[in-house]
Amino acid sequence: MALGGLSLQAQGQTKLEWKFTEGEKFYTEEISDQKQQISVAGQDIKMSTKTTNITSYTVKRVAGNAVTIEMKIENVEVKTDNNMFGGGMEKMQEKMQGATFTFTLDGGTVTKFSGHEEFLKKLADGDEMMAKFGKMIFTEDMLKKGIEEAFTNLPTRAVSRGDKWNKDRSLPMGPLGNIKLKNEYTYKGSEPDGELLTFTGTLSWMAPKDGAGFGDMFKISKADFKSDNVRGSVVFDAKAGRLVRSSNSMTMSGTMTIDVMGNEIEMSMTQDTASTMRVLRKNPKAD
């Protein structure tokens, strides 16, 4: 089954799409480095976070254009420096380890999805406040859109070297509203290990009109963040129908007003993010 691999078209065109076989299993290793500088109440705070996620994907069923896959978060490592949240976010991310989801992808859309309720229970681990926070942030729609984004960033038509195309997306962030991304992709041609795509783009996020509420904890009443220098690359093995690796980077900056029990706190933030992902046949963390 192919989704969205190698077929050579007329006039030297190449069509790129994922290919799946029942019973196969592969892994992704995602590494993200974030460096933040936050200015609040006359103080400048610098933080950094490095996150490494290992996720496995097992193809359970292929039926026409639909593929059913079991996804398991195998390993999560989070390293932080000068974390102003006291390690709470680090602990929450590490609780994701072992979470399992099953989804059906058909024509680039997730049509079936399970495992969300079990994931939220695992994340909360009996903590009522964490349960409320997890339910607000990790919505089913957000998880489904993340899966679609991972498997549908290829051109929908056959391409020739130098061809360009645009892709606009809106990623749901629960009470935080939506992140809007606009990217322009360019097919650069063949590399030794696959077909090379590069992209540049923009990202923007504004708090919802009525603010982003987090129950009784706090409320983001205003926020405006943008990045005009999103850039990255994708290397795809067209013959195997599999991603080889990808990378992206950006600098995002903006301002935010947080309402804590009626007290408004204004802050500005600049965040540098650099991420890489590679697809592997074996778990890189396995003994």
Relative to beta strand 18-19, strand 14-15 is unpaired
What whole-number distance in Å separates Cα of residue 140 and Cα of residue 131? 14
* Phi-psi sector, 160: left (phi>0), alpha (psi -120 to 50), beta: beta
Question: pLDDT digit of tens for each residue in the chain (287 aa)?
Answer: 656 544 444 457 899 999 999 999 999 999 999 999 999 888 899 999 999 999 999 999 999 989 999 999 999 999 888 765 555 566 777 789 999 999 999 988 999 999 999 999 998 888 887 787 788 788 899 899 989 988 888 998 999 999 999 999 888 777 777 889 999 999 999 999 999 999 999 999 877 766 666 666 677 888 889 999 999 999 999 999 999 999 999 999 999 888 887 788 899 999 999 999 999 999 998 75
Last residue of a domain, one of 152, 170, 195: 152
142 and 182, same structural domain? no
Last residue of a domain, one of 103, 119, 152: 152
Q: Tell me whether residue 164 is in a domain.
A: yes
Q: What's the confidence (pLDDT) of residue 138? A: 87
What whole-number distance in Å separates Cα of residue 225 and Cα of residue 229? 13
Q: What's the confidence (pLDDT) of residue 8? A: 43
205 and 101, same structural domain? no
Q: Tell me whether residue 15 is in a domain.
A: no
- Quick check: 200 and 221 in contact, CB under 8 A? no
146 and 170, same structural domain? no
- Please list, in sequence order, all residues whose beta carbon lies within 8 angstroms of the beta carbon of residue 146, skipping any fewer than 6 positions away: 171
Q: What's the confidence (pLDDT) of residue 10? A: 46
Q: Which DSSP letter does residue 10 get?
A: G
Give the SS3 label for residue 238.
coil
Q: Could you give phi then psi for residue 2, rounded to 5 degrees?
A: -120, 140
The helix (H) or strand (E) run that includes residue 156 is none
Q: Tell me whether residue 209 is in a domain.
A: yes
50 strand-pairing partners: 33, 79
Q: Tell me whether residue 2 is in a domain.
A: no
Q: Is the dihedral of CA 24, 146, 254, 230 positive or negative?
A: positive
Q: Tell me whether residue 208 is in a domain.
A: yes
Longest Cα pair distance anywhere in the chain, in angstroms? 65
The parent domain of residue 88 ranges over 21-152
Q: Tell me whether residue 269 is in a domain.
A: yes
Q: Tell me whether residue 4 is in a domain.
A: no
228 strand-pairing partners: none
Q: What's the confidence (pLDDT) of residue 7? A: 42
Give the SS3 label for residue 91.
helix
86 and 67, same structural domain? yes
Total length of the chain:
287
- Please list, in sequence order, all residues whose beta carbon lies within 8 angstroms of the beta carbon of residue 32, skipping any fewer than 6 positions away: 49, 50, 51, 273, 274, 275
162 and 130, same structural domain? no
188 and 76, same structural domain? no
194 and 129, same structural domain? no
| N- to C-terminal Cα separation, the chain | 32
147 and 30, same structural domain? yes
Q: How many domains does the chain have?
A: 2
Last residue of a domain, one of 152, 171, 189: 152
106 and 147, same structural domain? yes
202 and 109, same structural domain? no
130 and 114, same structural domain? yes
Q: Tell me whether residue 5 is in a domain.
A: no
121 and 76, same structural domain? yes
